[in-house]
Structure 1
Amino acid sequence: MKIVPVILCGGSGTRLWPMSRGGYPKQYLKLTGELTLVQQTARRLHDVEHVAAPIVVTNNEQRFLVAEQLRQIGVQPSAIVLEPAGRNTAPAIAVAAQLATRDGQDALLLVLPSDHVILNERVYAELVQAASAVAADGHLVTFGIEPTSAHTGYGYIRAGAALSSQSGAHAVDAFVEKPDAQTAERFLSDGGYYWNSGMFMLKASTYLAELTRHAPDIAETSALALDDAKCDNDFIRLDASAFMRCPNVSVDYAVMEKTDRAAVIAAADLGWNDIGSWSALAEIADTDDAGNAVIGDVLAEGVTNSYVRAEHRMVAAIGLDNVVIVETADAVLVAHRDRAQDVKKIVERLNASGRHESVTHRRVVRPWGSYEGIDQGDRFQVKRIVVNPAAQLSLQMHHHRAEHWIVVKGTAIVTNGDNEIILSENQSTYIPLGVTHRLRNPGRIPLELIEVQSGSYLGEDDIVRFEDTYGRVGNN
């Protein structure tokens, strides 16, 4: 039976702020190597037998991010499903199960969060194969992690009777909410308790049957959302009216805690980490003799047991112990490692005050490339724009601003009203307010230019699109 990976790409971007943001959560970041976390999730499937192309579940805002990052590593998903709103894991898996069985054949779903780290990929492949045999027998398998500490940030699974001496799987006796420290210590000493990783192996037909039995409203509304979905280039847009009626419920709560088919299979040396905080990331980072994990241009003097990361500028730290320092282009986090979980409180305050730093970086990724704010003042702002080879922006106009474009690298084809001109390095053009325009890169190298905007209003919502390669219309 084929194994269909289901990669879940949600996330609010709060736990690893300021690198992770609402519009750019942690799965799209290179936190532990040369690949982003979602790329690592897809790449480690290469060693698993009988694996089909993955189904990716994400949202409208992140669709081009995940598509481009998978393209970079040569992974072509069988589908990229766009949720109109987050409804947790039970509906997302239901849609994937229905999609995977549309050809009339059953499938095993390997459900994977896109933002976890797994260091031992050989053990991972062996664990997936063992879980597939258990799931093929009609069990809903969750992957448990052998605890290495009395962690209070994870839910736990209590294992029951062994299902098979060969598989290493056990029936699930109970799912346990995140415990207090004393309870976690008892779990560790008693044994038979595992961290709940959020990874699953499920036969699609079994999951749908159990979902219909225990959460029929989710089964019904998710099926309607897929039946009435619209295809948009490489994406499947779920019907919003149906999907919005779906309860916002996790697969654990909707099915796993109620079914008599739940099983757990665990490994002691998987090297798993969900990177739920900067402290968790520091635990798996390489450290120096002083216990410091140092990334980027960092000068540390008398610093111990700390995580210091510089993304854009030099960071100097003196006389500190057990801290986290993370520098980005527009925000810097300084926290005690024991309080790193509280970064979400900072994000809540940013959201409450309407500040953009909780949602976007100074460099904003677009399907055609990126733009980055360099300077701004009263009635002007300056941006650095990068357009990917063979990509183009939408045909558009602005009501409140004019733009000056100066090419600093590559070649640009510019539509400026009724005219089309070619610009090379050190050449420029002026786009008057209200004039329809477009920018295209005809070359094989990225096009880079400096844009100077001037006008009474410079917000990103002052844009009217007439034509767009990427299916965006109006001012969306």
Structure 2
Amino acid sequence: MQLIPCIIAGGAGTRLWPVSREAMPKPFMRLPDGESLLQKTFNRASQLDGVESVLTVTNRDVYFRTVDDYRLLNKRQRSLEFLLEPFGRNTAPAIAAAALHVQARYGDDAQLLILPADQLITDVAAFETAVQSARKLADQGWLVTFGLVPSRAETGFGYIEKGQALSSEAYQVARFVEKPDAVTAQNYVEGGLHLWNAGMFCMRVDVLLAELESHAPALLAAVRQCLAQCTSKEGRNELQIELDSTSFALAPDISIDYALMERSQKVAVVPCEMGWSDIGSWQAIRELSAADENGNRCNGEVVLHDVTNCYIDSKKRLVGAVGLDNLIIIDTPDALLIADANRSQEVKVIAQELKRQGHPAYLLHNTVTRPWGTYTVLEEGKRFKIKRIVVKPQASLSLQMHHHRSEHWIVVSGMARVTNGEDEFMLDTNESTFIKPGHTHRLVNPGVIDLVMIEVQSGEYLGEDDIVRFTDVYGRVPEAAKI
């Protein structure tokens, strides 16, 4: 039977603000070795024996960034398949959609390996061994979950209680347990019957769908109706399926644990130790690197005096610190976080408050990724904004128009093909053009190196939503989206 890894890439990662933001969430965070959590998950999945295709369920808005991360690593030319959600509806609808898709494409006996995109696993060999054990159980009709042998009394995770032994490698699940208090968590560690719930699963799609039909029929019906109305696009080694937003909104917003795993009598668990971390806080990030003689871990240029046990991440600016202990300091171009390391879980409160206020720092960084490249806001004030725009080779912005602003484009490096009103022409390095309000325009990089430009906007309104698109190679017409 065929194994289809399914990477579930959802969530905002609010506890890792200001690096993780709603439009550029935790799976895209670069770890000290330069790889993102998403890339590490893709590597683990694509290198399993027999895997020819990797399925990803993610938000439509981060599709292009996801593909960019994958293509850097996909040297074995695995087929890339995507189920693109218009908005998040938790793990149960995502997994149901994946199962229905895999059943239709690969048959009833295909096995689905569910992998969250934002987890770190350092012992890949142990992971592969656990997957092999899970596949044997899945072929016998079990819904298999992976239980992590706890290394400490942890109140932030859910637990799985082991029941009857099914083999030397696996147990039937007696019950799932909510996040416990400290005393209960310590008892779990000492008792040896409880495992951390990793949120990873392996199961045959026909068994999974039959159990969903039995325990969550309304959810399955809603997702099946959604897939019947979706649109798809298939090219060389790549398939995109966009879930219909109207019908997807009717699917219950519920986790797979609540919808199915806690109700089914066919759930097994494979205990494993694989160097796992959910990277759920800055405290967890801190533990990934070695401390100096004072217990400090620093990324970037720092000058410290009488500073101990601190984590400082500032890649752009020098940080000077005096007389500090056990703090987390995260500096980004537009936001600075200072937190007591013992309260790093509470960083999510900051992100939630920014979202409540409608502050842009909860959503975007100063540098914003788009399908064609990136833009960085260098400076802005009343009636003006200055951006640095980088367009990838052969990439193109949409043909568009602005009602309220003019734009002055200056080429810093590379070559640009510009549409400005009725005219189309080339711009070389150090050349520029001026675009009046109401004029249609487009920017294309026809070259083989990045096109770097400075854009100066001026006008009475400079919001990103002042865009009327006419044509777009990335499918963003007729939707009113941001460049």
Tell me the TM-score normalised to structure 2 length.
Answer: 0.96
2:329 alignment partner in structure 1: 325
- The residue type equivalent to 2:474 in the other structure is Y
- The residue type equivalent to 1:128 in the other structure is V
**1:297 deviation in Å?**
2.3
Provide the aligned length of Structure 1 versus Structure 2: 473
2:347 alignment partner in structure 1: 343
1:436 alignment partner in structure 2: 440
Indicate if the aligned counterparts of 1:8 and 1:56 stay in contact, CA closer than 8 A: yes
- The residue type equivalent to 2:61 in the other structure is E
- Alpha-carbon distance in 1 for matches of 2:103, 2:201: 17
- The residue type equivalent to 2:90 in the other structure is N
1:69 alignment partner in structure 2: 69
2:119 alignment partner in structure 1: 116
- The residue type equivalent to 1:112 in the other structure is L
Matched, 1:356 2:357: no
- Alpha-carbon distance in 2 for matches of 1:283, 1:264: 28
**1:288 deviation in Å?**
1.9
**1:318 deviation in Å?**
2.2
1:98 alignment partner in structure 2: 100
Q: Deviations over 1:237-264 (max 9, x none)?
A: 1122221111111111111111111111
2:130 alignment partner in structure 1: 127
Tell me the TM-score normalised to structure 1 length.
Answer: 0.97
Q: Deviations over 1:373-427 (max 9, x none)?
A: 0011111010000000110100111000000011111111111111111111111
- The residue type equivalent to 2:149 in the other structure is E
- The residue type equivalent to 2:91 in the other structure is T
Root-mean-square deviation (CA), in Å? 1.3
Gaps of 5+ in 2: none
**1:457 deviation in Å?**
0.3
**1:283 deviation in Å?**
2.1
User: What SS is found at the alignment partner of 1:15?
Assistant: helix
Question: Which of the numbers 252, 265, 270 marks the counterpart of 2:270?
Answer: 265
User: What SS is found at the alignment partner of 1:164?
Assistant: coil
Question: Which of the numbers 88, 91, 94 marks the counterpart of 2:90?
Answer: 88
5 Å matches for 1:149-228?
A: 149-165=152-168, 168-228=169-229
- The residue type equivalent to 1:124 in the other structure is F
- Alpha-carbon distance in 2 for matches of 1:363, 1:451: 14
**1:146 deviation in Å?**
0.8
Indicate if the aligned counterparts of 2:379 and 2:386 stay in contact, CA closer than 8 A: yes
Gaps of 5+ in 1: none
1:283 alignment partner in structure 2: 287
5 Å matches for 1:10-25?
A: 10-25=10-25
Matched, 1:49 2:86: no
**1:76 deviation in Å?**
4.7
Deviates more, 1:466-475 or 1:210-219: 466-475
1:37 alignment partner in structure 2: 37
Indicate if the aligned counterparts of 1:232 and 1:471 stay in contact, CA closer than 8 A: no
Matched, 1:237 2:236: no
Question: Which of the numbers 78, 81, 84 marks the counterpart of 1:79?
Answer: 81
Indicate if the aligned counterparts of 2:372 and 2:396 stay in contact, CA closer than 8 A: yes
Deviates more, 1:195-204 or 1:290-299: 290-299
Indicate if the aligned counterparts of 1:13 and 1:23 stay in contact, CA closer than 8 A: no
- The residue type equivalent to 1:63 in the other structure is Y
User: What SS is found at the alignment partner of 1:360?
Assistant: coil
Which 4+ runs in 1 deviate beyond 4 A? none
1:252 alignment partner in structure 2: 257
User: What SS is found at the alignment partner of 1:224?
Assistant: helix
Question: Which of the numbers 314, 317, 337 marks the counterpart of 1:313?
Answer: 317
Matched, 1:140 2:143: yes
**1:46 deviation in Å?**
4.2
1:412 alignment partner in structure 2: 416
Q: Deviations over 1:253-277 (max 9, x none)?
A: 1111111111111213x11000111
User: What SS is found at the alignment partner of 1:187?
Assistant: helix
Indicate if the aligned counterparts of 1:406 and 1:426 stay in contact, CA closer than 8 A: yes
- Alpha-carbon distance in 2 for matches of 1:328, 1:249: 34
- Alpha-carbon distance in 1 for matches of 2:475, 2:162: 48
- Alpha-carbon distance in 1 for matches of 2:303, 2:65: 33
